[in-house]
Amino acid sequence: MCGIVGYIGAREASDVLLEGLKKLEYRGYDSSGVAVVKDGKVGLRRAVGKLDRLVAEVKKRPLAGHMGIGHTRWATHGRPSEANAHPHMEGGVAVVHNGIIENYLSLKEVLVGEGAKFKSETDTEIISHLIHREIKMGKTLVEAVRATVRLIKGTFAMAAVSEHEPDKIVAARMECPLIVGIGRHESILSSDIPAILSVTRRAVFLKDGEMAVLSRDATIITDFAGKEIKREPTTIDWSPIMAEKGGYRHFMLKEIFEQPRAVADTFRGLLMEESGDVFLDGLDMPAGSIDRIYIVACGTSWHAGLVGKYFFEEFFKVPTEVDLASEFRYRNPLVGKKTLVIAISQSGETADTLAAIKEVKKRGASTIAVCNVVESSLTRETGWSLMTHAGPEIGVASTKAFTTQLIALYMLALYFGRRSGNVDAETGVALIQELLRLPKKLEETLSVAPAVENIAKKYSHLRDFIYLGRGLNHPIALEGALKLKEISYIHAEGYAAGEMKHGPIALIDEDMPVVALAPNDRSYPKMLGNMEEVKARGGRLIAIVNTDDIEASQKADDVIKVPPASMHFTPVILSVPLQLIAYHIAVLKGTDVDQPRNLAKSVTVE
């Protein structure tokens, strides 16, 4: 969590830093700050609350200068307060940090013993003190940072500036993302790609154990021992406009509406229509070498994994288990050389997912990432990666990243299905045709938005919701409930509809809306039965059905009609109205849709 940014060049640093922080605010938004260096002095501004507060503060007390660092915080050590906000300053050294310093208490004890005075409750402040101590002993800023990163234990992406050397920013990375953008006579660093796009699309992705020294005309990358590393910049194909709201009221709404494009971009160039196969360049994994699959992920990505299990077991016919990454690591899963572990992550930076992959690699498993961010920590860790092409997802509630994950898993399962001989060419061709029709169906599905908005008005005052689904749509019920919880703060539970009678039915009364996923598939008759049970107990039914539906529609209080799709893609289609229900209820309740309370987009701590 937390986002860091740094800039050196000809522009006003505070403008670039604040703009960059705006793009990183999804990583944490309880406080923020910037430090700008000018005429051998570091100017500091910090504010508690959303970034707007910092922007107002900088407007009131401007910070001129062409070099600086900034931070947006999601508190781990110490409550949100101005004193705990970054940058932290000591003796003319300012530091921003994303991550957790595990040995900060023992280091602090030593420093306090030497007379250091601490001003915050954070683990980060230790870094500014250590760098300052090294500078006092005669080291340069680069040498001081190098000495410091060897002393601290934990995870970090950090950047430091010093009033003693006002021509450089020194940054270092250990298990937290850090990107350096290389412009013409200017450089920018950031925790994530969107924040650099206003300056440049040429980027170098730092690896664990690397440092970067940014100056106007050069960026030097070294390891922690100081050995220079040559790495060509990568050109990012995300445009600055992709990280803007583009006329939508919220990023989430824009991202919901981007799904037809995102899905098409994810399969573009990979489908072999004539042979019914999928082209996955560089995936060198014979189907016969895999006898068990684990899918590991967190949150929404875990829901995608639950759908993926159906694809792998149907197409590849290999037993597939889906685990929460945070649990998987702490049990003793049966992982060996013939195990394939697929990690799903939008950000590629989720700490538990990364840790799970590191663990299974030690046991000899093959690993694949399904990820939305190029050069993220996850894609570097796994043997092979299948990228989703959702583009930057800024809303904390995942939407287009989720549906593109479903597409990626479908393609991956089909790929192995074809290689294993379980899916013949004719079936493969039909499965690919289904996928090719999906973007158009998604376009049609989006036309339910006004109807959903009206339905949301009837239910936004209620305190609890239940979502019911069966088969591949059970994970979609879980996902619908998660969306509502995240952004509207309404308590919601997703259930496999068949489980209703085993407990949840006790909750049903006239104040309990039940969202029933009732497409016309093989579980439709059973779903009708579950809907009757809800009705009989006075529950209020919102049914999501196919356009030609009659029976379920007659039972429901409110109906949302979506185009019919094959069983495999019904989960994708149903996701759209569920995202819209959550969105419109949240808007009506006046919550912060894109940055809901207590959450951060990337959970980089365990």
Active-site amino acid positions? 2, 601
Closer by beta carbon to ligand AGP, 14 or else 350: 350
Closer by beta carbon to ligand AGP, 98 or else 398: 398
Cα(65)–Cα(55) distance, integer angstroms: 16
What angle is formed at CA 58 by the lines to CA 8 and CA 246, rounded to 5 degrees? 75
Contact present, 47 and 70 (Cβ < 8 Å): no
- The alpha helices in 79-171, defined as continuous H runs, are 104-113, 125-136, 141-151
Shortest distance in whole angstroms from residue 352 CB to ligand AGP: 8
Closer by beta carbon to ligand AGP, 180 or else 390: 390
Binding residues (CB under 6 A) for ligand AGP: these are 298-301, 345-347, 350, 353, 396-398, 486, 602-603
Nearest CA to 22 out of 41, 43, 5 is that of 5
Closer by beta carbon to ligand AGP, 384 or else 524: 384
Shortest distance in whole angstroms from residue 380 CB to ligand AGP: 15
Describe the crossing of helices 141-151 and 125-136 by its angle, rounded to 10 degrees. 130
Structure tokens at 150: 């060897």
For residue 590, the one-letter residue type is G
Cα(383)–Cα(333) distance, integer angstroms: 20
Shortest distance in whole angstroms from residue 185 CB to ligand AGP: 34
Closer by beta carbon to ligand AGP, 212 or else 298: 298
Describe the crossing of helices 425-446 and 570-589 by its angle, rounded to 10 degrees. 20
Residue nearest to ligand AGP (CB): 299
The number of residues in the chain equals 606
Shortest distance in whole angstroms from residue 230 CB to ligand AGP: 30
Closer by beta carbon to ligand AGP, 301 or else 367: 301
Within 10 A of 136 (CB to CB), how many other CB atoms are there?
Answer: 10
Nearest CA to 409 out of 434, 426, 386 is that of 386
Shortest distance in whole angstroms from residue 339 CB to ligand AGP: 21
Shortest distance in whole angstroms from residue 477 CB to ligand AGP: 15
Closer by beta carbon to ligand AGP, 396 or else 490: 396
Sign of CA dihedral 499, 503, 507, 510: positive
Burial class (CB in 10 A: 0-12, 13-18, 19+), 268: exposed
Contact present, 97 and 145 (Cβ < 8 Å): no
Shortest distance in whole angstroms from residue 602 CB to ligand AGP: 6
Q: Which residues touch 159 (CB under 8 Å, ≥6 apart)?
A: 4, 6, 69, 95, 96, 169, 170, 171, 189
